[in-house]
Amino acid sequence: MNVIISASELAGELAGGDPPVLLDVRWQLSTPAATGRPPFDGRAAYLSGHLPGAVFVDLDRELAAPSAGRGRHPLPDPEEFGAAMRRAGVSAGRPVVVYDGGLGWGAARAWWLLRWTGHPDVRVLDGGLSSWDGPLETSVPQPDEGDFTPVPAAAGLLDADGAAALARSGLLLDARAGERYRGEVEPIDRVGGHIPGAVSAPTTENVGPDGRLLPAGELSARFRALGASADTPVGVYCGSGVSAAHEVLALAVAGVPAALYVGSWSEWSSDPERPVAVGPDPQ
């Protein structure tokens, strides 16, 4: 099953008799207060113009639970997540398309959560809103209540111990910027560096200059060069389980299944008992 959809394909589906549910998940990493810039307001961006019929989903409130020491974006409570998705009109038997402003991270988080909890047909708008050249609207739709009930999968999710084990026995990819992986800078978390054994694989390198994911063949070649193979289990982490979901999406396009460490570096680095590696090498 395809995990991404182009703007032209989406326009065709929206014009048909059974259009997909559209979820607007515009989100950006909060800017540190020291910069003097206000945090990004996804709802305000949504209200200024969104795809026709799209419902706004708040990543921080509906796709994550309060931190409580489990990383910045721990998994949401399944019942609360299901209620939020039903309010947005999500049903098990109707396709869903998620999009954001173009970076892809927020949309990928929604895609991963819906797929991991059992929705059979979820795709990400490749290139996000910036790829769309059709009409926008500012009115807020009131969708009919959906019927989606999350059933979390037994596989596809890593905790801290599982991530540490995978770094030794398989392939654990770090989706953050290289300088954070190397420990040269750390603008958010307690310390810089990476999980020992993890391989640097910035998710920003999975997209082209137009913001769209690279073709499947190029992604496949990239992940093979990083150590992915048919018999190697793969996992991904980032700062808080958001940009890593985008890397899991890119891996899916390349035909490589991967698990997500949702707690990611924000959880790992908060525990002083966890080892930290620095420098360009995994160990």
What pLDDT, in 10s, does the model give residues 44-69? 999 999 999 999 999 999 999 998 77
Cα 243 to Cα 240: distance, rounded to the nearest angstrom:
8
pTM: 0.95
Residue type at position 95: P
- Helix 243-253 and helix 105-116, axial crossing angle in degrees, nearest 10: 70
The domain ranges of the chain are 4-131, 157-268
Which member of 238, 242, 248, 258 is catalytic?
Answer: 238
Look up residue 34 and give its DSSP letter: G
What's the CATH architecture for 4-131? Answer: 3-Layer(aba) Sandwich (3.40)
Tell me, yes or no, if the two domains 4-131 and 157-268 fold the same way.
yes
Whether domain 157-268 has CATH 3.40.50.300: no
pLDDT in the model for residue 36: 61
Closest by CA to 75, choosing from 256, 248, 260, is 260
Q: Which residues pair with 36 in a beta bridge?
A: none
How does DSSP assign 104-143, residue by residue? -HHHHHHHHHHHHTT-S-EEEETTGGGG--S--B-S---P
How many CB atoms are located within 10 Å of the residue 224 CB?
A: 12
The SS3 assignment for 212 reads coil
Cα 162 to Cα 149: distance, rounded to the nearest angstrom:
27
pLDDT in the model for residue 237: 98
Query: Could you say which residues of the chain have pLDDT below 70?
Result: 30-37
pLDDT in the model for residue 67: 83
179 a catalytic residue: no
pLDDT in the model for residue 34: 47
